[in-house]
Amino acid sequence: MKVLCSASALLLVFSILFSSCVKKKELPIPEPAMEMEMVLIPGGEFLMGAEDGDGSDNPVHRVYVDSFYMDKCEVTNAQYFEFCEQTGRDLPELWGMKEFRSGLGYPNHPVVGVSWRDAGAYAEWIGKRLPTEAEWEYAAGGGLVGKDFPSGEDLDSSTGNFSSKGTVPVGSYSPNRFGLHDMAGNVVEWVFDYYDKDYYKVSPHRNPRGPQEGKFRVIRGGGWHSGKSCNKVHFRNCLLARWVDFNLGFRCVKDLR
């Protein structure tokens, strides 16, 4: 199965690496200064999926999502380091590798090399959660209708970090219409849902949360190592929850209520 668009053989090495687990009880409460800036995503209905083709992002269907808050940027190396320091969790497998701009030498670059479980643990620690797949696509579109990219009809090196030599500091590119940065490019992002290539055929209309079970978790968006087509707002793919990758990070959301 094709996993990450434009991934290299190095993915096979890092994909089998496991991230350590920590007990969830008695974790220290994060300092207020650690709270990443969030933006309010107003609830609404949108057309989810691609209007043509026969891939897992078909058929296009109407979905409504309630309002929620979303991290303006992807979680950074500095923020994830603080989480590991306070909880005793192991640092990412790629930590300190300059070729992936991982570590405190790149504090404002998005963290990479974290599993779905790592991302979920961070989100829980900070009092947030991972976005659902529907929330992610709705937010990435920024209210645009019938557009493939967060920036509109097209994506190039001035509007997103893709097919490049590495990550860049979060917020380096202009935000979409909802005020979110890097919803295309920089790193691919984990979302909450289990993956099912046929889920769109049975997805509920309101606040879908994906299948009840599955082997893989959904990943969304494109990253620095992805091709242009992988950065389309409706493009979807998946990985095992324990896998890590040099092109993959995450951001969090928080319920309005």
pLDDT tens for each residue of 15-35: 433 333 333 333 344 443 345
Tokens at 31, concatenated = 């300092």
Tokens at 120, concatenated = 């979920």
Question: What pLDDT is recorded for position 257?
Answer: 77
C-alpha torsion sign, points 242, 246, 248, 254: positive
Question: What pLDDT is recorded for position 215?
Answer: 97
Question: What pLDDT is recorded for position 239?
Answer: 98
Element (H, E) at 82: helix 77-87
Position with higher pLDDT, 52 vs 231: 231
The predicted-structure confidence for 88-124, as pLDDT tens digits, reads as follows 999 999 999 999 999 999 999 999 999 999 999 999 9
Please give the domain boundaries of the chain with CATH numbers for all domains.
Answer: 1-16+36-257 (3.90.1580.10)
d(CA 97, CA 108): 15
The predicted-structure confidence for 118-176, as pLDDT tens digits, reads as follows 999 999 999 999 999 999 999 999 999 989 999 998 999 999 999 999 999 999 999 99
Question: What pLDDT is recorded for position 68?
Answer: 98
Question: What pLDDT is recorded for position 51?
Answer: 86
CA quadruple 194, 197, 200, 202: dihedral, nearest 10 = -80
The DSSP-derived string for 100-158 is: GT-STTSTTSBP-S--HHHHHHHHHHTT-BPPPHHHHHHHHHTT-SS-SBTTBS---TT
Question: What pLDDT is recorded for position 176?
Answer: 97
Q: Contact at 8 Å (CB) between 231 and 184?
A: yes
pTM: 0.87
The predicted-structure confidence for 190-218, as pLDDT tens digits, reads as follows 999 999 999 999 999 999 999 999 999 99
Question: What pLDDT is recorded for position 8?
Answer: 39
The predicted-structure confidence for 44-70, as pLDDT tens digits, reads as follows 999 999 988 888 999 999 999 999 999
Lowest model confidence (mean pLDDT) among 7-16, 69-78, 83-92, 152-161? 7-16
What integer is the mean pLDDT of 241-253? 98
* Residue 227: pLDDT over 90: yes
